[in-house]
Amino acid sequence: PVDRSPEIQEARLKLPILAEEQVIMEAINENPVVIICGETGSGKTTQVPQFLYEAGYASSDGIIGITEPRRVAAVSMSHRVAKEMNLSHRVVSYQIRYEGNVTDETKIKFMTDGVLLKEIQKDFLLLKYKVIIIDEAHERSVYTDILIGLLSRIVPLRGKKGQPMKLIIMSATLRVEDFTDNQKLFPAVPPAIQVDARQFPVTVHFNKRTPVDDYNGECFRKVCKIHRMLPAGGILVFLTGQAEVNSLCRRLRKAFPFHKNKTEGDEEKEESVEETRKFKKSKQKKTMPLPKIDLNSYSVLPVDEGDEDREAEMDDDEDAVGSDIDLDLGDDGLEEGEKSNSSLPLYVLPLYSLLAPEKQAKVFRPPPLGTRLCVVATNVAETSLTIPSIKYVVDCGKVKKRFYDKVTGVSSFRVTWTSQASANQRAGRAGRTEPGHCYRLYSSAVFSDFEKFSPPEITRRPVEDLILQMKALNIEKVINFPFPTPPPTEALAAAEELLIALGALQEPPKTGRLKDLQIAKLSCPISPLGMTMASFPVAPRYAKMLALSKQHDCLPYAITIVSAMTVRELFEEFERPAVSEEETEKLKGKKARVIQMRRIWAGQGPFQKLGDLMVMLGAVGACEYAGCTPKFCEANGLRYKAMVEIRRLRGQLTTAVNSVCPDAGLFVDPKMKPPTETQVTYLRQIVLAGLGDHIARRIQAEELLDEKWKNAYKTPLLDDPVFIHPNSVLFKQLPEFVVYQEIVETTQMYMKGVSAVESE
Ligand code: ADP
Ligand code: MG
């Protein structure tokens, strides 16, 4: 029996999924695999685990596991469900890569999909679980796809063993054919239950014209207009990345200053009565009837022909605010004198995945009284998190994605149009609590050219890590694996080849044809080294480095370097435009200091040859020595969140290494001494062993045929020049041979994470 508070009970009853509890539970009781589709916010993530719990699916002989593609969701959903059920975090818990609060009492466990994949390696049948819920399956993250493939085999095996397990796949869209019409995956078609969306109508407004470049400016103008002209209700803006989000937040805060946020807790207390009154009054007067438009009708064409024109006016004539032109977005005009809400402060919050968790959590709390909430977000807000009381969505229509070249592995971040499905998801965020509006900063013609759905991630990125994990699970013929959508054969072959080069797979006999044949069939078995590598939770190249580092006491350093290379964005970005002159000076001073620190960390003479990896080692060493405080990070241009992750990953890798070779007796030493010269030499060899295929040679003066090759490097696979990234400590030194962590293409192709290799 669950003892919920009356408020929670009331809120639950409003969720559409509650009406389906019986249908859902009957389907689950009668079928090993069930698919549940329902709009974001219908209650899938928070309620289905509770249904299962109440139906007795968590007992002494098994618990309920839920996977999320994003860490943010795993943590915040476990908190939410614990609160709704009035149970402690000891019972409703979470586990993400670096942390968790799982106990012996845990009955409901939220985790990232990567965590469950690791567990399958230890216990293929997942005997600890009675139910696995794969959430957000529509996102088609690589791990989600692999998990569904594996679970399609595990579920029948559990049935045969007489310890049946249920698999529930939850999706925010109805596009589930990859799971249902896939005989290889599920020979018996699993039932798909559709939860009716209790979604209020959302009116979609397309721009008449699509801005060529400046969608950021366009977003700013649109938010300003909504805030000045439209009735109360939260605004949610979709942009493509962290830098854009922060920059729009700054602009908006400047345009609509919100002076009371000196300390968060004081916001409400300092609320002025007068403002509240003004706010209430304007709210009463301004309720405009909204056009009744069904959400389902917006997917292809603009709902209202007139909208485009009105929109265009809004766009073309920014100064119109306060003038007589009728600029409202609904059917009713606003009366003169009521047009400006600008006295109302705008409470602007950013939301993106690298944001510190306590800052992320702010978006769930009600905004200070008498303010309008405006959340500026990346894709995180598209499906996994439901932000309360959003009435207006501003959608730039773009998404930032990493693209990989299938052959060379060169990656670039590109901003492209999103898919129709995701644009519709974004629009849907506006209709959660009342009818809403979505402003698309592009025309309906552009929208109809969007691809219908984004292709699954597994078809878009290198897969060596997955292949190694699968081989470690004794899946030798990867090509026969029941992928919901298989990766391209080139990507599979490239992965197999890299793993052979790293020694992780047994090399097929070198009789020409046979080797080709085996790679083509992708059936090389894993080697003992490969098994060791697979036990490290890092990419195969880095796992190889760890596996080689036992000599000369290099392990603690290799672990640190690998941790630093694995965690994203160690160093703060400096592109932040200063708000004032004073700040400009401060930033200049800081930049100088940071550059100096990087030089110090890079060391002298032979130490320097380890290049950027030496800098990483030095930065982590110094930061840990100083106690890894936010203050130290801030002063030295390090990203605190990254440093904390590195610390956790070091701990995790240290444990992993100890369990593979118990005599290593490693521990994480916060006062780790810098490596000796000999150790640095070995470290460079180790790095070369892992990154051997990432080698580049500088073009010598006598070879210089074309200016474009000045200071450039040549790599075996690329015809075009690549350069050392300007942020690298080796940028000026230009060693003859280097290895790099990755090549990222921006204006040029840049090598990042560079270290020098001896030329002999
Ligand atoms: P779905 O998984 O179908 O998208 P959820 O179960 O995540 O839906 O959300 C159901 C409802 O619970 C939503 O209306 C949302 O507003 C509410 N909710 C979710 N998390 C929180 C939270 N942390 N605080 C308050 N309400 C929340
Ligand atoms: Mg959900």
ipTM reported for the complex, 2 dp: 0.98
3-state helix, strand, coil in the chain (%, to 5): 45, 15, 40
Mean pLDDT throughout 134-154? 94
- Looking at the CA of 138, which ligand is closest? 2
Whole-angstrom distance, CA of residue 570 vs CA of residue 215: 29
| Cα-to-centroid distance, 40 and ligand 1 (Å) | 9
Ligand 1 atom closest to the Cα of residue 80 is 23
Bridging pattern class, strands 436-440 and 695-698: unpaired
- Give the angle 581-587-592 at the CA atoms, nearest 5°: 135
Asked if pLDDT for residue 197 goes beyond 50, the answer is yes
Residues recorded for the chain: 760
410 CA to centre of ligand 2 in angstroms: 33
Q: How far is the CA of 392 from the centre of ligand 1 (A)?
A: 18
Nearest CA to ligand 1 atom 14: 41
Tokens encoding 604: 């002298």
Q: Whose CA is nearest to atom 23 of ligand 1?
A: 80
pLDDT tens for 262-311 read 444 433 333 333 333 333 433 333 333 333 333 332 222 222 222 222 22
Residues whose beta carbon lies within 6 Å of some atom of ligand 1: 15, 38, 40-47, 76, 80, 364, 386, 388
Residue 672's region, left for phi above 0, alpha for psi from -120 to 50, else beta, is beta
Give the ligand with the smallest distance to the CA of 80: 1
Over residues 129-143, the pLDDT tens digits come to: 999 999 999 989 999
DSSP string, 594-633: HHHHHHHHH-SHHHHTTHHHHHHHHHHHHHHHTT--HHHH
User: Which residue among 51, 79, 80 is best mutated to probe the pocket of ligand 1, counting the most ligand atoms within 8 A of its Cβ?
Assistant: 80
Could you say which ligand is closest to the alpha carbon of residue 51?
1
Q: Please report the pLDDT score of residue 585 as a whole number.
A: 82
| Bigger pLDDT: 231 vs 308 | 231
Q: Pick the residue with more confidence: 276 or 361?
A: 361
CA distance 736 to 734: 6
DSSP count for the chain of H helices, then E strands: 26, 20
Mean pLDDT of all residues in 176-188: 90
Task: Express as a percent the part of the chain with pLDDT over 90.
Answer: 50
pTM score: 0.75
Determine the pLDDT at residue 578: 61
Q: Are 550 and 532 in contact (CB under 8 A)?
A: no
pLDDT score for 703: 79
- The residue whose CA has the least distance to atom 18 of ligand 1 is 386
Range name among 117-121, 360-364, 649-653 with the lowest pLDDT average: 360-364
CA separation (Å) from 359 to 203, 352, 355, 363? 30, 10, 7, 8
Q: At what angle do helices 71-85 and 44-54 cross, to 10 degrees?
A: 50
**Radius of gyration, alpha carbons of the chain:** 28
Residue 704 has pLDDT above 70, yes or no: yes
Ligand 1 pocket check: which of 15, 46, 362 to mutate, most ligand atoms within 8 Å of Cβ? Answer: 46
Q: Is the confidence at residue 7, as pLDDT, over 70?
A: yes
Percent of the chain with pLDDT over 70: 85
Q: What is the pLDDT of residue 173?
A: 81
Query: How does DSSP assign 299-355, residue by residue?
Result: SSS-S-HHHHHHHHHHHH-GGGTTSSS---SSSSPPPTT----TTSPEEEEEE-TTS
The pLDDT, as a whole number, for residue 121 is 85
Tell me, in angstroms, the distance from the centre of ligand 1 to residue 90's CA.
21
C-beta neighbour count of 634 within 10 angstroms: 13
Q: Given this model, what pLDDT does residue 95 score?
A: 95
Euclidean distance between CA atoms 702 and 725, whole angstroms: 23
**Average pLDDT estimate for 174-179:** 85
Between the CA of 26 and the centroid of ligand 1 the distance, in Å, is 24
HSE-up (13 A, CA, CB side) for residue 567: 27
Distance 641 CA to ligand 2 centre (A): 25
Q: Which of 196, 236, 383, 386 to mutate to test the pocket of ligand 1 (most atoms within 8 A of CB)?
A: 386
Question: What's the pLDDT score for residue 511?
Answer: 65
Q: How much distance in Å is there from the Cα of 81 to the middle of ligand 2? A: 12
Residue 319, pLDDT > 60, answer no
Residues with CB under 5 A from ligand 2 (ion): 44-45
Q: What is the DSSP letter of 577?
A: P
The atom number, within ligand 1, closest to the CA of 195 reads: 3
Please say if the pLDDT value at position 10 is more than 60: yes
How far apart are alpha carbons 515 and 328 in whole angstroms? 69
State the Cα–Cα distance between residues 310 and 293, nearest whole angstrom: 17
Kindly give the distance from the C-alpha atom of residue 182 to the centroid of ligand 2, in angstroms, as a whole number: 24
Check residues 9 and 670 and name the one with the higher pLDDT: 9
Mean pLDDT computed over every residue of the chain: 83
- The predicted pLDDT at position 41 comes to 83
Q: What residue type is 219 in one-letter code? A: C
Q: 447 or 746: which carries more pLDDT confidence?
A: 447
How many Å lie between the centroid of ligand 2 and the Cα of residue 268? 30
For residues 441 and 219, the answer to whether their CB atoms sit within 8 Å is: yes
pLDDT of residue 682: 92
Average pLDDT over residues 552-563: 91
Question: Ligand 1: which atom is nearest the Cα of residue 17?
Answer: 3
| Ligand whose nearest atom lies closest to the CA of 38 | 1
| CA atoms in the 13 A half-sphere facing the CB of 438 | 29
In 10 A of CB 535, how many CB atoms?
Answer: 18
How are strands ordered across the β-sheet holding 92-95? 92-95, 108-112, 63-68, 129-134, 166-171, 33-38, 192-195
Longest distance between any two alpha carbons in the chain, whole Å:
86
Instruction: Identify the helix (H) or strand (E) that includes residue 738.
Output: strand 737-745
**Cβ-Cβ contacts under 8 Å for 224 (sequence gap 6 or more):** 252, 255, 256, 318
